Structure 1
Amino acid sequence: MEVRLDLEGLPIVVSDTAGIREAAGKVEQEGIRRTLGRARDADLVLWMVDATNLDAPAPAQLDVRAERMLVVVNKFDLLDTKVMQPLPDGAIAVSALTGFGLDRLTLRMAGFARARIGTQADEAPVLTQARHRQQLERCRAALASFLGSPMEEFELRAEDLRRAVQALGRITGAVGVEDVLGEIFGRFCIGK
Structure 2
Amino acid sequence: MIPVETLILFLITTLVVFLSPGPAAIAVTAEAASNGFKKSTFVILGIATANVVFFILSATGIVTLILASYTLFSIIKWIGVAYLLYLGLSAIFGQSGPLSVITDKKTEINAYKIFFKGFVLEISNPKALLYFSALLPQFIDISNPIIPQLIILCLMAIVLDFFCYSLYGYLGSKSRGKFIKPQVIKVINRSAGAMLIFAGIKMASVGR
TM-score between both structures, scaled by the size of structure 1: 0.27
| Structure with bigger RCO (C-alpha 8 Å, 6+ apart) | 2
TM-score under structure 2 length normalisation: 0.25
Q: Which has the higher helix share?
A: 2
